[in-house]
Each structure stands twice: as structure tokens, then as C-alpha cells.
């Protein structure tokens, strides 16, 4: 492995920054790209994928390039609560209750459904593959490359080394499904009037089509100064805040994992909690008025663009040909299964901004949270639906479930209790749906 230096970091940032600028130019000038409504970050990612190690390999990305998204997503979620105004607990609970239920359903239905299909494939057609094959769907589609690595490492301890490559392949396919399928879904629902912040692809303002804001269209400041530049530059001040929060979250995560080595604690969730604590301390000392939320939002948005571009560019395109047929069957099921979740659960669960939150769910259930965020920014550029904030808060309650799946599911399969995993997961889904129906919390008037 190459030595990772400050100059290696600079090279990675410089390359992906150049690709972001190229992506911006392509979005501004190429009509068919505008028609697809692809963000510059996605365009940059695809160019990086084609020219990087998985393509023609002419871009000198470092060996640590694929590790950046794990850090960037901590900046995104750590910035969410900082500078936010105080809200009523009842209002927050109503929103988070819906998102928590949705998150639980996506998690257990995708993991459980994949496990069932995998067991049926093994039992009926492919008797020579591991019975835990179906977990590849949840690991790659819902979890992404990080979770796929965790599942692969866990299965390797039980003698199934192919799980790592299969998981990475699943995560790669999932991202492509999230992007292509998401754009199609957004275009169709925009035409049907289901979006709240964009009306029609044909009637979109010039700035939303090209990504450029002309002077005559009215340019807006990205924030306001809350501190004097004679003391510290306002942007440096806000970057210092979020960097301190993420650094503290990393230290806390590292400490907890050293105490509980068998538990994988997600950094971005801890970053959100640390950011929330920091914001409340600033409010307690009446210093929160010196934090500008729009500036913090822009920092989070910047991290999102880099995350999406790097995440796509670092995809591993290795195809596991020995598993091609069962993988195709599993992926086809996963796509249809994710669409069922989007089509029938999202509209009936969310009282407000159902499409914005459901399209985020589509991106997450097929191509990780990062892809969900990318699609969300297409239909909700200013994040007015508060979907990201709701998800970050709801994820705190989702952590134990995800940790239990990643930690214990491979073990249960290896011990020979294969059907226990999908049975428990789908039973949880039935309970969540049943509770909503019983208490009449679902809005069945939307179809």
C-alpha cells in the first residue's frame, strides 16, 4: 500500500474538484444531461468511475480514496442540528415517528425479503452456494460498500470468502439502480404533480435546468456574517465548529468501539448527536445567535457533493461471474421490492412531503444513504422537507436494529437456523404496519 501523505490527500481533492467543475460545465451545456436532471456531483462521479482504477485507470486516485465518504457523511449529519432554531417537541416527534417507522420498514423488508429469496434460490436451484446468499441484497442495496465489507468479513470467519466480492458487487449495482431508477421515478412523479418544490421538468426555471444562476434571475447570498473578520473569518469560524464536532464524534466512536470491540458504531449518527449537544450548549450560554444556519447548510451541502462524486468514482466494478445468474435474480427482486416500498408504503405513511421522503427512501433502499441524499437534492434543493434532519434523528433509534442484523445474521445462518432471520425481520415489519393501521396513523387517502 502506498504511503498516504498530505500531498496524496491534495491530489485526491484536486482530481475530484476538477471533475466537479467538468460536471458543472456538462450540466450547463448538454441538453440530454439536463433532461435527466443529473447533479454535477453524479456526472463527476461517473467520469471518475470511467477514468479511475475500475475503468481505464488514468486518474491517480490514492488507496484511501474510497474511505472519504465515511468521513464526509459525518460532516453532513453533524452540521444538521448546528444553528437550527428551537422547535416544539411534539412537532419533532410527529415527523421523526414517521421517518423511524419508514426506516425500520425499509431495513427489515429489504434484508428479510432478500434472505427469503436467497433461501429459495439455494433450496430450489443453486444448492452449491451458501444459504446466507440472500443477505447480499440488504448488505449492498441498503447498507452499501461499508456494510457489504462488514458482512463479508463476518462470513469469512465462517469459511465463505466469496461474500466480500458479492457484497461489493451488490453495492455497486445498487448505486446504479438508485441513480437511473430514481431519475425515472422523479420525472414521472414531477409530471403527475407529486413533488412539492419542483413542478414540471418542462417548466423548470433556467437555473434548475442548467445549474447556473444568471444575474437577472436574482442571486442569493449563501449566508450572513455572525463574527467579525477582524477576529476570525466567518467561514473559517463555521468550518471550525463542524470540524470540532466531527473530530469529537470520531474520538467518542473510537473510544466506544475500543470498549465494545464487537459493536460497529456509525460515525455519522454519533456526529449528529454531538452536533445536537453542541447546539444545545450554545443555546444554554446564549451563543447560538452567532451561528448562521444557512452557512452550516452550505457546508453540509458541499460535503454531500464531494461524497456523491467520490462514492460513485470509487465503485468496484468486479463482477463475480460464478454467481452471475443468482445475482441477477436477486437484484431483479431487489429492484421490484424497493419499488413496492416506495409506491405503497411511502405515500401512506408520510403526512407531509411524502414524495420527497419516499424518493430518499428509494435511493437509500437501493443505493445507500448517500444516493438517497443525492436524489433528495434534485426534488428538494434547499432541503425544506427536513427529510435529512428527520432521518438523522430517526437513525439513532434504528442503530440497534442495524447492528443486530449485521452482527448476528451471518452467525445465525452459519449455525443452521437460516429461516430464523427472515422470519424475525418480516415479523417486525408486520408489527410496525399493524401498529400504524390499528392506531389509524396511516394516511390511506393517498394512492
Backbone φ, ψ for residue 184 (5° rounding): -60, -45
Residue with cell 444459504: 131
Question: Exposed (0-12), middle (13-18) or buried (19+): which is 353, by Cβ within 10 Å?
Answer: buried
Give the separation between CA 141 and CA 364, rounded to whole angstroms. Answer: 8
Residue 205: count other Cβ atoms within 10 Å of its Cβ. Answer: 11
- Alpha carbon 87 to its chain centroid, in Å, reads 25
3-state secondary structure the chain: CCCCCHHHHHHHHHHHHHHHHHHHHHHHHCHHHHHHCCCHHHHHHHHHHHHCCCCCCCCCCCCCHHHHHHHHHHHHHHHCCCCCCCCCHHHHHHHHHHHHHHHHHHHHHHHHHHHHHHHHHHHHCCCCCCHHHHHHHHHHHHHCHHHHHHHHHHHHCCCCCHHHHHHHHHHHHHHHHHHHHHHHHHHHHHHCCCCCCCCCCCCCCHHHHHCCCCHHHCCCCCCCCCCCCCCCCHHHHHHHHHHHHHHHHHHHHHHHHHHCCCCCCCHHHHHHHHHHHHHHHHHHCCCHHHCCHHHHHHHHHHHHHHHHHHHHHCCCCCCCHHHHHHHHHHHHHHHHHHHHHHHHHHHHHCCCCHHHHHHHHHHHHHHHHHHHHHHHHHHCCCCCCCHHHHHHHHHHHHHHHHHHHHHHHHHHHHCCCCCHHHHHHHHHHHHHHHHHHHCCCCCCCCC
One digit per residue, the tens of pLDDT, for the chain of length 447 reads 467 889 999 999 999 999 999 999 998 888 887 766 677 887 898 899 889 887 888 998 988 887 787 788 788 878 878 877 665 555 555 667 788 888 899 999 999 999 999 999 887 888 778 888 999 999 888 877 667 766 776 787 677 777 877 887 787 788 778 888 988 898 888 877 777 776 665 555 666 677 777 777 777 788 888 998 899 999 999 999 999 999 999 999 889 878 877 655 667 778 888 998 999 899 899 888 899 888 988 888 888 788 778 877 876 666 456 788 898 999 999 999 999 999 888 888 887 888 888 899 998 888 777 778 778 877 887 777 888 778 877 776 787 787 788 778 888 888 888 899 999 999 999 998 887 776 655 444 444
The sign one gets for the Cα dihedral 265, 284, 301, 393 is positive
Residue 319: what pLDDT?
A: 47
Q: Return the number of other C-beta atoms located less than 10 Å from residue 247's C-beta.
A: 14
Give dist(CA 146, CA 373) in Å, integer. Answer: 17
The answer for 271, left when phi > 0, alpha when psi is -120 to 50, beta otherwise, is alpha
Cα separation of 412 and 11, whole Å? 44
CB 346 within 8 A of CB 354: yes
Q: Which three cell numbers stand for residue 25?
A: 460545465
**How far apart are the C-alpha atoms of 349 and 354, rounded to whole Å?**
8
pLDDT at 109: 93
**15 CB contacts (<8 Å, ≥6 apart)?**
48, 59, 60, 61
- Decide if 97 contacts 398 (C-beta within 8 A): no
Would you state the pLDDT for residue 323?
Answer: 83
Angle between the 354-379 and 387-414 helix axes, to the nearest 10 degrees? 100
pLDDT of residue 247: 95
- Rounded CA separation 172/166 (Å): 10
Amino acid at each position: 500500500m502506498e504511503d498516504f501523505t498530505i500531498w496524496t490527500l491534495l491530489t485526491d481533492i484536486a482530481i475530484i474538484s476538477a471533475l466537479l467543475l467538468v460536471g458543472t460545465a456538462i450540466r450547463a451545456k448538454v441538453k440530454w444531461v439536463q433532461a435527466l436532471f443529473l447533479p454535477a456531483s453524479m456526472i463527476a462521479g461517473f467520469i471518475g468511475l470511467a477514468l479511475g482504477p475500475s475503468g481505464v485507470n488514468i486518474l491517480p486516485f490514492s488507496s484511501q480514496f474510497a474511505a472519504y465518504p465515511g468521513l464526509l457523511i459525518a460532516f453532513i449529519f453533524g452540521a444538521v442540528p448546528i444553528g437550527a432554531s428551537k422547535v416544539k417537541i411534539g412537532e419533532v416527534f410527529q415527523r421523526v415517528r414517521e421517518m423511524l417507522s419508514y426506516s425500520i420498514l425499509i431495513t427489515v423488508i429489504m434484508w428479510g425479503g432478500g434472505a427469503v429469496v436467497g433461501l429459495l434460490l439455494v433450496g430450489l436451484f443453486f444448492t452449491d452456494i451458501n444459504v446466507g446468499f440472500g443477505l447480499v441484497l440488504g448488505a449492498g442495496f441498503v447498507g452499501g460498500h461499508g456494510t457489504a465489507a462488514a458482512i463479508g468479513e463476518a462470513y469469512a470467519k465462517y469459511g465463505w470468502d466469496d461474500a466480500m466480492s458479492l457484497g461489493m458487487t451488490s453495492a455497486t449495482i445498487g448505486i446504479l439502480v438508485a441513480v437511473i431508477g430514481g431519475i425515472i421515478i422523479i420525472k414521472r412523479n414531477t409530471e403527475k404533480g407529486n413533488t412539492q418544490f419542483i413542478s414540471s421538468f418542462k417548466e423548470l426555471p433556467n437555473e434548475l435546468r442548467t445549474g447556473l444562476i444568471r444575474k437577472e434571475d436574482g442571486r442569493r447570498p449563501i449566508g450572513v456574517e455572525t463574527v467579525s473578520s477582524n477576529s476570525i473569518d466567518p467561514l473559517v469560524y463555521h468550518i471550525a465548529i463542524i470540524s470540532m464536532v466531527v473530530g469529537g464524534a470520531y474520538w467518542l466512536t473510537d473510544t466506544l468501539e475500543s470498549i465494545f470491540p464487537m459493536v460497529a458504531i456509525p460515525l455519522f449518527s454519533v456526529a449528529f448527536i454531538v452536533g445536537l449537544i453542541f447546539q444545545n450548549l450554545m443555546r444554554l450560554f446564549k451563543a447560538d445567535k452567532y451561528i448562521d444556519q444557512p452557512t452550516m447548510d452550505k457546508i453540509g451541502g458541499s460535503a454531500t457533493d464531494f461524497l456523491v462524486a467520490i462514492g460513485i468514482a470509487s465503485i468496484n466494478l468486479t463482477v463475480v461471474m460464478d454467481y452471475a445468474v443468482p445475482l441477477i435474480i436477486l437484484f431483479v427482486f431487489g429492484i421490484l421490492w424497493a419499488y413496492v416500498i416506495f409506491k405503497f408504503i411511502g405515500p401512506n405513511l408520510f403526512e407531509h412531503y411524502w414524495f420527497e421522503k419516499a424518493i430518499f427512501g428509494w435511493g437509500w433502499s437501493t443505493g445507500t444513504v448517500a444516493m438517497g441524499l443525492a436524489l433528495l437534492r434534485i426534488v428538494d434543493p434547499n432541503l425544506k422537507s427536513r427529510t435529512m434532519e428527520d432521518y438523522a434523528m430517526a437513525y439513532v433509534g434504528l442503530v440497534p436494529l442495524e447492528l443486530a442484523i449485521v452482527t448476528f445474521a451471518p452467525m445465525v445462518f452459519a449455525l443452521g437456523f437460516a429461516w430464523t432471520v427472515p422470519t424475525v425481520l418480516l415479523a417486525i415489519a408486520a408489527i410496525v404496519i399493524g401498529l400504524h393501521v390499528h392506531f389509524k396513523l396511516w394516511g390511506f387517502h393517498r394512492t
